[in-house]
Amino acid sequence: MDYKLTNNNKIGLLLLSIGIILIMGLFTLSSWSDLEALGYKKVYSEESQTNAFRCPVFITTDEDSYLSIKIKNPVDKVSIVRILTFVTYGSSTFDHKEWTILELDPYESHVVSTPIHPKDAAYDKLILAKVIIDNPYPIADQQGFCGVVLVNINFLTGNQLTAVLFTSGLIFIVSGFVLYTTGHRPFRGKFNQRLIIYYVFTAMIIFGTTISIIGYWLFGFLFYLISVIAILTLLFGDRELSITY
């Protein structure tokens, strides 16, 4: 059944689109920086990957921030763990490195932090970082990587900028849903297929962005690909799906 979009429909779709663009932009920048870091200092190949290495998504021009990794001793004896952290310094060719040596009691955890600064950004764009964890036998050695986008503003910190973009995106999306679904009430409980796809697409974008920010960018990228298929269906699908409630 064809219908004419109401004003609520149009405004709702506009707000939804703005929210999705904000969330997708945040996801894209977060994943892009980590993908760039994947090839940084690729000189070790035997270590398993760790997702415990944490970076902020952004750093701003007047901000000092830090990277962190949580180290845990999983065995019932004292362990000596050596952590080597590489961070770019103005380019991907030059870097500074920092050794940290920990003596951990059985099952003890410790968070190691490494400071970063705007001047560390390679070519004034990205700070790339890699960590190598030298564990005692029989614990496998590990490595992690992440990237931080340099943003040329000085009135927010990187974490504040992330929070503003993510929160603004959610507000636009929720507001758009409310207006769009309100516009569908006269249709006696039948929802257009495009509304359902918007729900699926938006949920995947939000979830993918969230897990990408906390370090699981590969899973985030998977959700991103699925959501792209959803938005293409949204744009080119002509059928309607009726749901009775």
List the pLDDT tens digit at each of the 245 positions of the chain.
Answer: 455 566 777 788 788 788 878 888 888 888 888 888 887 876 555 667 887 888 999 999 989 999 999 999 988 899 999 999 999 998 877 888 899 999 999 989 999 999 999 999 998 889 999 999 998 888 888 898 889 999 999 899 999 999 999 889 888 888 887 787 665 554 444 455 666 666 777 677 777 777 767 666 667 677 767 776 766 666 555 444 434 33
Alpha carbon distances (Å) from 43 to 20, 47, 143, 229: 38, 11, 11, 36
User: Which residue in 56, 112, 119 sits closest to 84, CA to CA?
Assistant: 112
pLDDT of residue 94: 80
Token pair listed for 106? 């059985």
Token pair listed for 128? 């790339």
Token pair listed for 81? 């763990």
User: Which residue in 16, 6, 4, 57 sits closest to 195, CA to CA?
Assistant: 16
User: Which residue in 55, 71, 146, 80 sits closest to 112, CA to CA?
Assistant: 71
Separation between Cα atoms, residue 60 and residue 223, nearest integer Å: 28
Rounded to a whole number of angstroms, the distance between the first and last alpha carbons of the chain is: 18
pLDDT of residue 1: 47
- CA triple 81-70-132, angle to 5 deg: 50
240 in Cβ contact with 2 (< 8 Å): no
Half-sphere exposure at residue 241, Cβ-oriented, CA atoms within 13 angstroms:
9
User: Which residue in 60, 10, 12 sits closest to 164, CA to CA?
Assistant: 60
pLDDT of residue 22: 87
pLDDT of residue 130: 92
- CA triple 168-171-173, angle to 5 deg: 110
Look up residue 75 and give its amino acid: V
pLDDT of residue 121: 92
